Chain A
Amino acid sequence: MKSIITFIILFFAASAFSQTTISGKTLDKKGKPIAGANIYIDGTYDGATTNENGQFSFTTTTTGNQILIASFLVYESFKVTIDVANFQDKTIVLKESSNTLDAVVISAGTMESGDKARVSVLKPLDIVTTAGSAGNIIAALQTLPGTQSVGEDGRLFVRGGEANETQTFVDGIRVAQPYNATIGNVPTRGRFSPFLFSGIAFSTGGFSAEYGEALSSVLLLNTEDNPDQNKTEVSLMTVGLGLGNTQKWKKSSLSLNASYINLAPYQAAIPQNLDWNSPFQSLSGELVYRYNFNNGILKVYAAFDSSKMDINQENINGPEKIRVDLNNNNFYFNTSYNGRFGTGWQVVTGMSYGYSKNQIGLDLDNVNNDENAAHLKLKIKKNFSNYFKLLVGGDYFISKFDENFVPNLGITKTNGYNSNIAAAYTEADILFSKKLAAKVGFRASYNDLLAESTISPRISMAYKIAKNSQFSIAYGDFSQSPSVDYIKYSKYHQFQSEKASHYILNFQYSKDNQTFRAEAYYKDYSNLVKYDTQAIAYNSVFNNEGSAYAKGLDIFWRDGKTIKNLEYWLSYSFIDTKRDYKNFPTAVTPSFVANHTLSLVTKYFITDWRSQVGFTNSFSSGRPYNNPNETQFMNGKTKVYNNLSFNWAYLISPQKILYFSVSNVLGTQNVYGYDYAKNPDVNGIYNRRAITPTADRFFFVGFFWTISKDKKDNQLKNL
């Protein structure tokens, strides 16, 4: 008996110190060896790295059943229970992880900027260092393909669509009034100061079911999650003053900024094509508060601005100029929460409220309007695996608009509308392999004002043909309630939503600071609003029988690699579109469309001068206009448009920047179109007046100073 016990003890002791060899090789799905994989026994140091042939071999002192792990960055970790005594010359096949940097991402329609973007078309700094953009997010986006530069308007016109067909979202929540108020033929700019946003996605079509009430495009702005440090920023500009402050605490941070803009000095220095009674002035402020929870982030964004201007507009219909006096007050508030819970669940929820009040004086008459708009949103996303994600969500949009026309003589006319739109959407993200991905979803919505429901399917797919190249396709149906110009007359006419379908084919190549995109699209519009009078009025006869198409090709090339210190991008858009809407007698190309648009943006950094110099050249072919002296409708075409802008940022010291920019360096006399008289003169001729830029050139000089503890940060990004 004793000997047996001794024997057992000896046996165990021996096995405890004995070493077993584990060996084998690691292959990928195609049978190619994987070098550099880490193969080990869970809970021990025992393991090895595979060699070039994918082989590994190591010894272990463990016995019995153990968990063997094989891990390698771009592959999914492989776990298997093995019997250490019997794991020699085995083969492990690793599956490529979908959650890696090089998996395919659908790129049809969408151009992204920011840190989280895989392929950045614009970098965050670009918004402000692009010559000619003057800190206007919208102007920088107009250097991307698919957009039309409509100089007298300033808003985004995408692929043959009207400006109101683009919907803007901040942190996923709608902004009902994204532009500063303005008056006819004086261009507007985006309300938001660019430096609060760390990521921008701009979709020119085929976007996700998450976004609705947009026929053409969505612009998604995401506020920065965490500012880097406490700082104070001071800006002194030829057009005004700005002041900003950021405070950072352990879990939260607050950024505030305020600016006062007054164009009086600029208008005094540069000859103006307009007759100003009082220059454009605005006072605005923004606030962003962020609070980081363990599993989520809460953001509050609020913006206020008040602006006014007063001009005498030339009037082709009479010898007297018309005095237009505009006062606008705007308030926007948005709060959102983005958090994770359970395993693979994500929730995004929030609400926004926007209020805009305009008081417009037209000679002795007055127009007052105010708009209240709110958006409530809830979105839940579940990651079932790296291969399947499901999104479900809902939106509720509330809009209330009231307008009073108070004529000098006569009675006040009141128009307006109340609209509530409820929408629900769902979308699945499916990754079939690292090379093939699809997104399938639909959006259902009900509009109580129009008393109609719509269902809009959306589908997109991407296929990677080589390491750096991929094709994407997208199809989607989009609907949007008609613009406020129409639906404020809802009490006289029952309108319907306008509709569009998008078909997109995209090719993208991206490698080492070089990106090439080519996108062909076809857009089919239906249900567009038409009316039968010269101008939209309550007594117009409306219908929803308009239609349109737009097809074209957008090309983008960005290169920051070929020439040292030089970054440049080139955008070219070709568009063929005809639209039968408004009071058009036939389908024609509308006046805001130029068939060819070409932009070249360059930025060159001169280290010795501590300067960045940039040129932007925007070119577009002539735009149509309607000449009532001709029988054919919309038969005129303006001359080509060209604008070369220049900017120079000079770093005086790490925290002081001097910035200079000038637009239209060449002094090209651009014409956007013509206004024709309503009635012919005594000789039977309709007289006209050219619509031109408000001034031939825009000069800007600014000094930006950042005060922070580390003395490193500066406002280069604000420029």
Chain B
Amino acid sequence: MTKLITAFALFVITFLSAQGQQAVTPATAGQFEQGMGKAFGLWKEGKNTEASDLFERIAAVETTTWLPNYYVALVNTTSAFGTKDKEKIKVLLSKAQTALDTEMVKDQNNAELYVMQAMINTAWIVYDPMTNGQKLSGSTMELYAKAEAIAPNNPRVVFSKAEFEIGGAKFWGRDTKPMCAQIDKAIGLFSTFQPETAFSPSWGLDRALVAQRNCK
């Protein structure tokens, strides 16, 4: 489990550098773009609470886009992976869950939201593997199955699912080759993946490359 936590701490860093390019927003951009850009900037500076709060404020105004709440969930979940304080983890994950629930109700056809929910579940599993491992691994796999049905070629879906399965396969002493093949596939998909907007999720490639190295 310690390995998983370290892996996620690393993931946060790589994620931020990937999103960093988008944080530079042209002065001509609208209010939404400016606000989102500023929030990414805060996140990059490590001001997680400030970033989450700004995403939350944007979410309260822009009710037609799922992105601000998605990032509220992502910021808080990644913060939870980097925290050791159990009480704080609970608070962060419940905040992430609330934000995600708001969007999940509006749209049950968004693969990125399912991946996000699966990540929150993974954080709960790390929080208490003995209790939550049994309880949540089944539903987490179900979430990935749903995400895959919606977006079979989304690199985050393919990669996150494979990474989650590797954890299980290692425990059972099973061959991780099929999952590694999926990671290779995900890396290919990252290169062709076109985010719908400048702020749509685009993270994951760096983390997938690390996972690919671990496969060898």
Contacts and interface: CB of A to CB of B under 8 A. Distances in A.
Contacts of A565: 130
A228 B142 contact: yes
A123 B57 contact: no
Main secondary structure of the interface of A (DSSP, over half): loop
B49 interface: yes
A710 B168 contact: no
A44 B131 CA distance: 42
A710 B147 CA distance: 13
A229 B138 contact: yes
Nearest to B137: A712
B54 A45 contact: yes
B130 A567 contact: yes
A39 to B, nearest CB: 9
A712 B140 CA distance: 10
Interface string B128-165: 10110010011101100100000000000000000000
A44 B95 contact: no
Interface in B42-85: 47, 49-50, 53-54, 56-58, 60-61
A712 B168 CA distance: 9
Contacts of B130: 560, 565, 567, 605
Nearest to B38: A45
Contact of A40 (B57, B86, B91): B57
B61 A38 contact: no
Contacts of A36: 49
Contacts of A45: 31, 35, 54, 57-58, 61
Interface in A667-713: 708-713
Interface string A17-56: 0000000000000000000101010111111110000000
B185 interface: no
A49 B43 CA distance: 13
A485 interface: no
Task: Specify which of B54, B137, B142 lies most central, judged by the most chain A CB atoms within 10 Å of its CB.
Answer: B142
A716 interface: yes
A716 B142 contact: no
Nearest to A709: B145
Nearest to B164: A712
**Chain A: interface residue count, which band?**
35 or more
A409 interface: no
B121 to A, nearest CB: 11
A125 interface: yes
A653 B47 CA distance: 44
Contacts of B90: 101
Given A43-B61, A44-B61, A45-B35, A125 B53 contact: no
Task: Specify which of B57, B131, B141, B142 lies most central, judged by the most chain A CB atoms within 10 Å of its CB.
Answer: B57
A295 interface: no
Interface string A310-335: 00000000000000000000000000
A228 B56 contact: no
Contact of A713 (B54, B95, B138): B138
Contacts of B56: 38
A47 B51 CA distance: 11
A640 interface: no
A630 interface: no
Contacts of B57: 38, 40, 44-47
Interface in A506-531: 512-513
Nearest to A651: B172
Task: Specify which of B130, B137, B145 lies most central, judged by the most chain A CB atoms within 10 Å of its CB.
Answer: B130
A710 B172 contact: no
Interface in A588-610: 605, 607, 610
Given A36-B49, A610-B171, A512 B141 contact: no
A271 interface: no
Contact of A654 (B35, B49, B91, B168): B168
Contacts of B35: 45
B40 to A, nearest CB: 14
Interface of B: 31, 35, 47, 49-50, 53-54, 56-58, 60-61, 86, 90-91, 94-95, 128, 130-131, 134, 137-139, 141-142, 145, 168, 171-172
19 contacts: A40-B60, A43-B60, A44-B61, A45-B57, A47-B57, A49-B50, A73-B95, A228-B138, A228-B139, A229-B138, A229-B142, A512-B86, A565-B130, A605-B130, A607-B171, A654-B172, A708-B138, A711-B141, A712-B168
What 9 pairs across the A-B complex have the smallest Cβ distances? A710-B141, A713-B138, A38-B53, A45-B35, A49-B50, A49-B53, A228-B139, A228-B138, A712-B141
